Amino acid sequence: MLGNRLPSAAVLIGLSLTLGIALGGCALTPDGARDEQARLAAASKLYEKPVESRELPALPARVGWRDALRRAFLANGDLESAYFEWKAAMIAVDKADAWPNSNLTLGYSYMFSPANMKAWDRTTLAAGFDPSMNLQLPVKPATAGKVALEAARETGEKFRAAKFDLQKKVLDAYLDLALAEERARIQRDVVHVLDLAESSARARAQVGGSVPDALKAKTEQEVAKNNLRNLDAEVLSAKARLNGLMARNASAPLGLPPQLPALRPVLANDARLIAVAVDRNPELAALARQVAGRKNAIDLASLGYLPDVIPSFSITGSISQTVGAMAMLPTTLPQIRATIDNAAAMERSSEALLRQTGKDRAASFVANLYLMRNAERQVALYRRSLVPLAQQTLTSSQQTYAAGQSSFVDLIDSIRTYDAIRLLAAEARIEREKRLAELEALAGVDVETLGKPKTAALIVSAQSDAPWLQPEPGPSRPGR
């Protein structure tokens, strides 16, 4: 009899152990988790390797804005931190949807008795779940997994927002440096012209010409040289800021092309830009995920009305075999109702914030779009008429002054006018590019990807949102 019972008992205990091990690896993965994991994996190649062993791209002698962005995306600690927060949020999904949520317990007891009983009949083997923690119905961790997935998606959108925030900072710093160097170049031209004018005025004074003109020329020359030194200091300051964003030493050498960066083309029309801004804004996308997560949180709170069950099994030799279960009936009904009401209130809060943020971001986008188009108008005006006119005026003043037909004051006015017009033209170009970077940050999309036919689904990752992270095929890169 005992020989027949032992194999059966061993099989039952073995099945219990196998069930416990199998359940320990069960995860009720919500729909969409694999897609979000794929999005995370697309960005992982940039940051999984430790930064000290990460091969950062070498900067060329003439750094273009694409070079600066590529370096910053790979080295910036804030963006890397946002990536690992996203990764941690995805790991939390596996934790939330794991089932069972209670450990499997195995029990053994041996009864001492004077009765004439076999050793097997004195032995009790038991298997069950930890009674200190209720075993939830599978629907509860499945719903908790949905809540965690929406939180992970929200964190993923925050990573995308961090990418565009960094992109805007780098572009702004690069453009500030380019403008500072352009101002210095213009001032060097002014110093050169004033050097010639001072030499001419001094030579005239030596042969009986106007001594006050010579003194004025010397004064203007010294003021111009001082202004140039101030602008050189601004260039060094702008280089330090850009170096910091690229995780380089603040005083590291950094050279830009000897002219302002070319205006980036915008192939999409204004209606398309506004539509994309509403559809792809990373902050709005994050809030939308927050709303979805809080809807799932209401469902999760409502599941508090369902009981939890703790099953158990035991066998005592050949005497008895039992299967049982304890049902944990919810009695804290006011607490459950409060949890549901709280989740509903948080959902309404997120919906209101999403609605208002959408209006604010749309308004900011349209406002920046107006300013960008106005800057484009100014760029065209300066290039087409104002800069050539100022150049002609300066050339005429130089010729008439050299011929003794105009005063030194007239020459200085022409120099200042030409200087001011060139500075305004440069500032208009930089303003246009800064507004474009602001539009990209608000829209959550790179302007290079707009106005082109879609060849594949967009993947929200550091690489797909930044096409310049990919190596470029030839030496035609800006700044080379």
Task: Give the Cα separation of 111 and 113 in Å (integer).
Answer: 6
Q: For residue 104, what are the β-bridge partners?
A: 129
pLDDT value for 20: 52
Q: For residue 436, what are the β-bridge partners?
A: none
Domains detected in the chain: 2-443 (1.20.1600.10)
| Biggest alpha carbon–alpha carbon distance for the chain | 141
pLDDT value for 448: 74
C-alpha dist (Å) from residue 356 to 289, 351, 353, 369, 402: 16, 9, 5, 20, 65
pLDDT value for 27: 66
196-219 residue pLDDT tens: 888 878 887 787 777 887 888 888
C-alpha dist (Å) from residue 22 to 26, 52, 183, 480: 7, 40, 70, 59
Task: Give the Cα separation of 24 and 404 in Å (integer).
Answer: 97
Task: Give the Cα separation of 217 and 182 in Å (integer).
Answer: 24
Task: Give the Cα separation of 53 and 305 in Å (integer).
Answer: 52
449-479 residue pLDDT tens: 765 544 333 333 333 344 434 433 333 333 3
104: phi then psi, degrees, rounded to nearest 5: -85, 135
pLDDT value for 253: 92
pLDDT value for 469: 44
Among candidates 9, 125, 457, 135, which has minimal Cα distance to 1? 9
Exposure string for 32-68, b = 16+ CB within 10 A, e = fewer: ebeebbebbeebbebbeeeeeeeeeeebeeebbbbbb
SS3 content of the chain, % helix, strand, coil (to 5): 65, 5, 25
Burial class (CB in 10 A: 0-12, 13-18, 19+), 217: buried
DSSP 66-114: HHHHHHHHHH-HHHHHHHHHHHHHHHHHHHHTBS--S-EEEEEEE---S
DSSP run (H or E) holding 129: strand 123-129
Burial class (CB in 10 A: 0-12, 13-18, 19+), 336: middle
Q: Which residues of the chain have pLDDT under 70?
A: 1-27, 450-480
Judged by DSSP in three states, 115 sits in coil
pLDDT value for 24: 52
- Three state DSSP letters for 423-471: HHHHHHHHHHHHHHHHHHHHHCCCHHHCCCCCCCCCCCCCCCCCHHHCC
395-448 residue pLDDT tens: 898 888 878 787 778 888 888 899 899 999 999 999 999 999 998 888 888 877
Distance of alpha carbon 431 from the chain centroid: 23
Judged by DSSP in three states, 123 sits in strand
Enumerate residues 6+ apart whose C-beta is below 8 A from 293.
146, 147, 150, 151, 153, 154
pLDDT value for 465: 43
Contact indicator for 340, 301 with CB cutoff of 8 Å: yes
